[in-house]
Amino acid sequence: MPALVARGVRKIYRGGVEALKGVDLEVREGTVTGLVGPNGAGKSTFLRVAATLLTPTEGIVIVYGKDVRKRADDIRRVISYLPEEAGTYGYLTGREYLRFFASFCEDPEEAFKRGLEIASLGDAINRKTKEYSKGMRRRLLIARTLMGRPRLAIMDEPTSGLDVLQALAVRDIIRRSVEEGSAVLLSSHNMLEVEHLCDHVYLIHEGRIVESGSPSELKERYGARSMEEVFREVVS
């Protein structure tokens, strides 16, 4: 069963902006699927629809066999979502934050331990998160997203704001989560990361999927040396 299937998804925001103009997309189990595209292309909108936070204006999204319109509660039990910009309740320490979110997981103790390991914040885990740097906060949010072994993790620019080593570590964590059974749908502006991390990539432009394939298929199709070149060819 695919982790997620989207067919003909349109989203018109109140006020009239048509952010998605008929998106077809699939996330297979055991894979990392990337959604890439220019600013304003509709990535975050699609991820919010997939995460059951926005209702599509038209079209269907099925997550593990369940329709986001009808079975949102069931879906929320098996997915987790990392927003593009998210806070961490500054008055809590990192440890308290993870403890709190672990309590919603099926096995709170296991999730908490796993969260601590993913966050890898050392002694800073005992500091209030309002004192964290952007990267530390992101790391904590990533730990929260993956600690409960979600069947589908939806991550909006997971490594944005992370330094090279942190981004590499997070990439490894994402890969490991997939090996352990999660499917991942993520957005990214880092084409090098997409190339290394994603099994399948969808290019979205002005609310439409304009290209898709594995990074190597896409490079071959465009005679490109990198995903950056593919991006440039497709979008310009």
Ligand X SMILES: Nc1ncnc2c1ncn2[C@@H]1O[C@H](COP(=O)(O)OP(=O)(O)OP(=O)(O)O)[C@@H](O)[C@H]1O
Residues in the chain: 236
Residues 6+ apart with CB under 8 A from 219: 225, 226, 227, 229, 230
Cβ-contact 108, 114 below 8 angstroms: no
- Is residue 190 a contact point for ligand X (CB under 6 A)? no
Q: For ligand X, which residue of 4, 6, 27, 41 counts as binding (CB under 6 A)?
A: 41
- Is residue 210 a contact point for ligand X (CB under 6 A)? no
- Is residue 42 a contact point for ligand X (CB under 6 A)? yes
Quick one: which segment of 56-64, 83-91, 146-154, 192-200 binds Mg ion (CB under 5 A)?
83-91
| Phi, psi angles (nearest 5°) of residue 80 | -140, 155
Helix and strand totals (H; E) in the chain = 9, 10
Residue 15 interaction partner, one of Mg ion, ligand X, none, beta carbon < 5-8 Å per kind: ligand X
User: Nearest distance from residue 15's CB to ligand X, in Å?
Assistant: 5
Residue 115 interaction partner, one of ligand X, Mg ion, none, beta carbon < 5-8 Å per kind: none
- Is residue 158 a contact point for ligand X (CB under 6 A)? no
Q: For ligand X, which residue of 6, 31, 33, 37 counts as binding (CB under 6 A)?
A: 37
Sheet hosting strand 58-63, strand order edge to edge: 18-27, 4-12, 58-63, 66-67
Q: For Mg ion, which residue of 31, 33, 44, 212 counts as binding (CB under 5 A)?
A: 44
Cβ-contact 39, 208 below 8 angstroms: no
Residue numbers of the site for ligand X (CB under 6 A)?
13, 15, 17, 19, 37, 39-45, 84
